[in-house]
Amino acid sequence: MPNFVVCPPHAAAGILQDEPQFNHRQMPVHLPDKDEESDGYVRGLSFDDYRMCSIQTHLGGRGGRHQPTPLWTQSNAAVQRVLLAFMEGRVFSKKKCATFHGNERERFLAVIQRLKKQTASLTVIIGRLCNEFVVTTDPARRKILQTQIQNIDRRLILASRPDVFYEIVVGYYRQRLSSPELAGQLGGVVSPWGIRALLHRMNVYAKRLGYAVEVHEPPPRQLYPSEQARKNARSERRAARDAERAAKRNARFLAKVARDAERLEKKRAAQAAKPKRILLGPTRERWKKEGKCTSCGGDRDRADRLFCEACRAQAKIYVAARRKAATACG
15 confidence band (pLDDT: 50, 70, 90): very low
What percent of the chain is modeled with pLDDT above 70? 73
Torsion angle of C-alpha atoms 203, 207, 211, 214, degrees rounded to 10:
70
Residue 224 forms part of a structural domain = no
Report residue 218's pLDDT band, with 50, 70 and 90 as the boundaries.
Answer: low
Q: 184, 208, 232 — which closes off a domain?
A: 208
Q: Tell me the per-residue pLDDT of 145-161, one tens digit each, with 9 for 90 and over.
A: 888 888 888 888 888 88
More confident residue, 296 or 88: 88
Pair (46, 77) in one structural domain? no
End-of-domain residue from the set 208, 230, 261: 208
pLDDT value at residue 327? 75
Q: 261 in a domain, yes or no?
A: no
Q: Report DSSP letters for 139-190, one per residue.
A: HHHHHHHHHHHHHHHHHHHHHH-THHHHHHHIIIIIS---HHHHHHHTTSSS
Question: Across all residues in the chain, what is the average pLDDT?
Answer: 77
Q: Are residues 37 and 80 in the same domain?
A: no
Instruction: Give residue 327's identity as a one-letter amino acid code.
Output: T
277 found inside a domain: yes
Does residue 45 sit in the same domain as residue 121? no
**CA 305 vs CA 12, 278, 281: distances in Å:** 140, 19, 20
Distance CA 308, CA 310 (A): 6
Indicate if the pLDDT at residue 287 is higher than 70: yes
Same domain for 143 and 98: yes
182 and 274 co-located in one domain: no
Q: What is the pLDDT of residues 230-274, one digit of tens each?
A: 888 889 999 999 999 999 999 999 999 999 999 999 888 887 776
Q: Are residues 19 and 87 in the same domain?
A: no
Model pTM score: 0.46
3 state SS of 87:
helix
Which residues span the domain enclosing 30? Answer: 13-56
User: Does residue 302 form part of some domain?
Assistant: yes
With bands split at pLDDT 50, 70 and 90, how would you rate the model's confidence at 46?
Answer: low
Helices 76-91, 104-135: inter-axial angle, 10-degree rounding: 50
Up-side HSE of residue 95: CA atoms within 13 Å toward CB? 0
Structural domain ending residue among the three candidates 189, 208, 227: 208
Number of domains comprising the chain? 3
Please, what sign has the CA dihedral across residues 36, 37, 42, 48?
A: negative
Query: Which residues lie across from 292 on neighbouring strands?
Result: 299
User: What letter would DSSP give residue 222?
Assistant: P
Q: 18 in a domain, yes or no?
A: yes
Q: Are residues 85 and 181 in the same domain?
A: yes
Phi-psi region of 17 (alpha: psi -120 to 50; beta: other; left: phi over 0): beta
